[in-house]
Amino acid sequence: MAFASPYSLCPILLFLLPVCVLAQTSQNISLNSTLTAALDKNDSWKSPSGDFAFGFQQIEAGMFLLAIWFDKIPEKTITWSANWSANGGNLVQQGSTIQLTTDGQFRLNDSQGKQVWTANLTGSGIVDHAAMLDTGNFVLASRDDSYLWESFDQPTDTILPTQILNRNSSLVARYSEMNYSSGRFLMQLQSNGNLVLFTVHFPLLSLNTDYWSTNTNGSGFQVIFDLSGSIFLKAENESILKNITSIGASSSNFYQRAILEYDGVFRQYVYPKNDSVADGRPMAWSSDSESHVPDDICKSITMQRTGSGACGFNSYCHLGNDQRPICTCPRGYSPLDPDNEMMGCKQAFVPQECDGGQDADLFDIEELPNVNWWGGDYEYFKPVSEDWCRQRCLTDCFCAVAISNTASECWMKKLPLSNGVQLNDNGTKALVKIRKGNSTTPVANGLKKQKKRRIIQPSREIQGVSLRSLTYKELEGATNNFKEELGKGACSTVYKGILAIGNNNLIAVKRLDKMVTDSEQEFQAEISAIGKTNHKNLAQLLGFCNEGQRRLLVYEYMSNGSLASYLFGNSRPSWYRRTQIAFGTARGLAYLHEECSNQIIHCDIKPQNILLDDSLTAKISDFGLAKLLKTDQTRTVTAIRGTKGYVAPEWFKSKPVTVKVDVYSFGILLLELICCRKSFDQDAKDENQMILADWAYDCYEEGRMYMLVQEDEEAIQDIERVEKFVMIAIWCIQDDPLLRPTMKRVSQMLEGAIEVALPPKSSN
């Protein structure tokens, strides 16, 4: 086959880019030449410029790949390799040979002398010589120099400038970075002219689902990689149908290649030929954000009926900062192949049994906001609440994950999970069922009973709840004349009551003792602002009473009381549960600060004001009262609404009070959650341990995190997260409010969505 230049219509280009012409002259490799795979020499045939070499490259100890590579760069990046075994890695042992025989055959024999690969000659003619060209093409040629075999016609996963993909040609991704056997993705210019990316039914190469295409059925003819670094699809009449990728770097200064990588992305790369032409690029292969397709592989592969999706089974995919896909195992799962994160995850715990003796209490739900697996469905419910969905999964032995969304939908999914992806759509949440930590900490008995009694029943989501106005008499009746006191604060007392309102029968009635705003209108306005808030981590205001001096607020009743009694009670709550409470509280505060229509500063975050519902979800209470009680307007110490120990330093200075006061208090609360102790403990073993914030900082500085969670096996197992939480807390309690992160950031850091920077050194 004659070498057909794609630039034949473009003489100016030919003139400017002489490489194209030079490529045709080369050092000929004569018949009866042999290369041997050997440890003591790198036997290869080089192109005239020395840019490319053909020969054996050692991939792992004593194992060689017959390949073509960039020879002048230290990486010796492979651009082609002989494919002869579908999944053995195509490697041969030392002593193997490649021979251009006297009768013009080109054969790879293994170390036992057995033939494992041969070049299938095309066209008629007898091979006279071979040549490694400066384009990176290795050819077998006849006496008249027409090519009977070209590596460019048998691409593996890479194409180079001047290389052309014709109809029916494919690139097959390798299995992993260093394993050259076929992987899970294939690019094909189909016989109909459409250029398509497919997943395959691994380990076979049969096509599964397409995830990207040029939509050029009937018109696509050839894929061209030109010397200016553009890759495009052209029609038979030479016009450009689609630009595929391009990179602004010319072949005279840069080595170029484009590869269907093992992650399923087709990427174009450049490498400066020397540092004087690098022009800001690193002396390494680099790519640009426009130089790959598809844009977001994670979101491109979601509709596969069989197969795992972009990542392996039970894993989910999201793009990293460098635009590359990252495959992550959910908590409780571990990678199948620790060296290749794309190969999926396995359950790392003993699954729930279905023999009737199952005990839902041994399992817990790990929330993954914005994550979905599109495959694995076996049941669907609507309309149900997230809580219902969660309980349903916990008590269903088939359920591995439930997906809940803000449209009150709930899907049950079984293993293996497929097409996992992290979305931008924050209305969807994956509820992953995991066995509770292999910790010896027993589950508190009271909680166990509580759960057993639960009646599972679909409940519609309360939407746009309207506040009920109640009379004092009604509330007097509901609380049996204010008989059962639940708690007492500086300006209010809370009572338990019975009243059918919303979905509830039990209510908590807060009677405001001291008076507050005198204006009826103002009271009404504040109440309605509180009433408009609606978030899973806020205690829901259901109604109110406003009769002169008698002002009462009606909330849903929280069966598990306050975080203070839960955290500082007799039995220590599990580390996992404590992390969930930290997540919930952070999200609730972020909502108050940033997402509800009127920003609300709480001003009194402390464990007494975090309530726990019957599934132990954290609910912030008493928000909105700061304004109602008019205490944040005079900034004298006596009028501070906040509680000693949780109060940010700016309260004491004449500095403006912002949402950052809540961040400070949250930081203290977070330390309490980590250590299961109060922020101030007069009876501490050691004087240095009295003030929790100081002690935590010391432990952090000295790298002795375990001191903070002594005898807490579960937390010690998760010590990296403990440390991360302490770092976040240290950020929250910075003296300078500007240094403290927003609650939204705190929430993202806690949940691992963003990294935690090293906190500043202590100023004292």
**Cα 244 from chain centroid (whole Å):** 27
Considering the complex, state which of residue 241 and residue 640 has its C-beta at the smaller distance from ligand NAG: 241
Residue 533's contacts (CB-CB under 8 Å, 6 or more residues apart) are 541, 591, 592, 596, 600, 623, 624
Which positions from 344 to 373 touch ligand NAG by CB under 6 A, shown as an x/- string? ----xx------------------------
Beta strands of 603-664 (E only): which ranges? 610-612, 618-620
Considering the complex, state which of residue 189 and residue 417 has its C-beta at the smaller distance from ligand NAG: 189
| Cβ at position 288, least distance to ligand NAG in Å | 14
| Cβ at position 7, least distance to ligand NAG in Å | 16
Token reading at 644? 């000693």
Stretch that binds ligand NAG, among 101-109, 686-694, 699-707, 720-728 (CB under 6 A): 101-109
Strand 158-159 versus strand 164-166 pairing type: unpaired
| One of 47, 79, 96, 97 touching ligand NAG (CB under 6 A) | 97
Considering the complex, state which of residue 232 and residue 398 has its C-beta at the smaller distance from ligand NAG: 232
Residue in the structure block whose two tokens are 């690139």: 171
Residue 500's contacts (CB-CB under 8 Å, 6 or more residues apart) are none
Strand 44-46 versus strand 420-422 pairing type: unpaired
Q: How many residues bind ligand NAG (CB under 6 A)?
A: 46
Stretch that binds ligand NAG, among 102-110, 317-325, 397-405, 452-460 (CB under 6 A): 102-110
Considering the complex, state which of residue 109 and residue 251 has its C-beta at the smaller distance from ligand NAG: 109
CB 262 within 8 A of CB 183: yes
| One of 103, 124, 191, 686 touching ligand NAG (CB under 6 A) | 191
* Distance separating alpha carbons of residues 312 and 335, to the nearest angstrom: 9
Burial string for 705-724 (b: 16+ CB within 10 Å, else e) reads beebbeebebbeebeeebbb
| Cβ at position 527, least distance to ligand NAG in Å | 26
28 binds ligand NAG (CB under 6 A): yes
| Cβ at position 508, least distance to ligand NAG in Å | 28
| One of 76, 299, 454, 630 touching ligand NAG (CB under 6 A) | 76
The strand pairing partners of 612, in sequence order, are: 618
Token reading at 621? 């209470």
240 binds ligand NAG (CB under 6 A): yes
Using CB under 6 A, which residues numbered 416 to 435 contact ligand NAG?
Answer: 426
Considering the complex, state which of residue 91 and residue 552 has its C-beta at the smaller distance from ligand NAG: 91
* Distance separating alpha carbons of residues 134 and 51, to the nearest angstrom: 6
| Cβ at position 596, least distance to ligand NAG in Å | 12
Beta strands of 359-442 (E only): which ranges? 363-369, 371-373, 377-381, 401-405, 410-413, 420-422, 428-435
Stretch that binds ligand NAG, among 7-15, 110-118, 303-311, 558-566 (CB under 6 A): 110-118
| One of 218, 320, 464, 703 touching ligand NAG (CB under 6 A) | 218
Using CB under 6 A, which residues numbered 435 to 474 contact ligand NAG?
Answer: 438
Question: H helices within 93-212, ranges in order?
Answer: none
| Cβ at position 222, least distance to ligand NAG in Å | 10
| One of 2, 9, 61, 113 touching ligand NAG (CB under 6 A) | 113
CB atoms within 10 A of CB 573: 21
The dihedral through the CA atoms of 366, 370, 376, 379 has a sign that is positive
| One of 243, 406, 505, 559 touching ligand NAG (CB under 6 A) | 243
Burial class of 177 by CB neighbour count within 10 A (0 to 12, 13 to 18, 19+): exposed
Considering the complex, state which of residue 193 and residue 416 has its C-beta at the smaller distance from ligand NAG: 193
Strand 618-620 versus strand 363-369 pairing type: unpaired
27 binds ligand NAG (CB under 6 A): yes
| One of 87, 459, 480, 571 touching ligand NAG (CB under 6 A) | 87
| One of 10, 19, 73, 205 touching ligand NAG (CB under 6 A) | 205
Which positions from 285 to 324 touch ligand NAG by CB under 6 A, shown as an x/- string? ----------------------------------------
* Distance separating alpha carbons of residues 595 and 657, to the nearest angstrom: 19
| One of 4, 102, 758, 763 touching ligand NAG (CB under 6 A) | 102
| Cβ at position 570, least distance to ligand NAG in Å | 27
| Cβ at position 614, least distance to ligand NAG in Å | 25
Q: Is the backbone peptide bond immediately before 416 cis, with ω within 30 degrees of 0?
A: yes
Backbone Cα Rg of the chain? 34
Active site residues: 604
| Cβ at position 673, least distance to ligand NAG in Å | 22
Strand 541-547 versus strand 468-469 pairing type: parallel
Which positions from 625 to 664 touch ligand NAG by CB under 6 A, shown as an x/- string? ----------------------------------------
* Distance separating alpha carbons of residues 422 and 328, to the nearest angstrom: 10
Considering the complex, state which of residue 165 and residue 648 has its C-beta at the smaller distance from ligand NAG: 165
Stretch that binds ligand NAG, among 91-99, 254-262, 387-395, 495-503 (CB under 6 A): 91-99
Considering the complex, state which of residue 313 and residue 700 has its C-beta at the smaller distance from ligand NAG: 313
Residue 351's contacts (CB-CB under 8 Å, 6 or more residues apart) are 397, 435
217 binds ligand NAG (CB under 6 A): yes
89 binds ligand NAG (CB under 6 A): yes
175 binds ligand NAG (CB under 6 A): yes
| Cβ at position 41, least distance to ligand NAG in Å | 5
Q: Where does residue 625 fall: left (phi above 0), alpha (psi -120 to 50 degrees), or beta otherwise?
A: alpha
Residue 31's contacts (CB-CB under 8 Å, 6 or more residues apart) are 100, 101, 102, 103, 104, 127, 128, 129
| Cβ at position 45, least distance to ligand NAG in Å | 13
Considering the complex, state which of residue 639 and residue 754 has its C-beta at the smaller distance from ligand NAG: 754
* Distance separating alpha carbons of residues 309 and 632, to the nearest angstrom: 53
| Cβ at position 114, least distance to ligand NAG in Å | 6
Burial class of 235 by CB neighbour count within 10 A (0 to 12, 13 to 18, 19+): middle
Residue 525's contacts (CB-CB under 8 Å, 6 or more residues apart) are none
CB 670 within 8 A of CB 735: no
Token reading at 374? 């599109």
| One of 1, 50, 143, 484 touching ligand NAG (CB under 6 A) | 143
Residue 633's contacts (CB-CB under 8 Å, 6 or more residues apart) are none
115 binds ligand NAG (CB under 6 A): yes
Burial class of 501 by CB neighbour count within 10 A (0 to 12, 13 to 18, 19+): middle
* Distance separating alpha carbons of residues 643 and 259, to the nearest angstrom: 61
| Helices 719-732 & 692-701 angle (0-180, nearest 10) | 120
| One of 86, 126, 283, 500 touching ligand NAG (CB under 6 A) | 86
| One of 36, 49, 77, 83 touching ligand NAG (CB under 6 A) | 83
41 binds ligand NAG (CB under 6 A): yes
158 binds ligand NAG (CB under 6 A): no
Considering the complex, state which of residue 149 and residue 495 has its C-beta at the smaller distance from ligand NAG: 149
112 binds ligand NAG (CB under 6 A): no
Query: In one letter, which amino acid is 547?
Result: E
- Binding stretches for ligand NAG (CB under 6 A): 27-28, 32, 40-42, 76, 83-84, 86-89, 91, 97, 99, 102, 107, 109, 113-115, 120, 128-129, 143, 145, 167-168, 172, 175, 179, 181-182, 191-192, 205, 217-218, 240, 242-243, 348-349, 426, 438
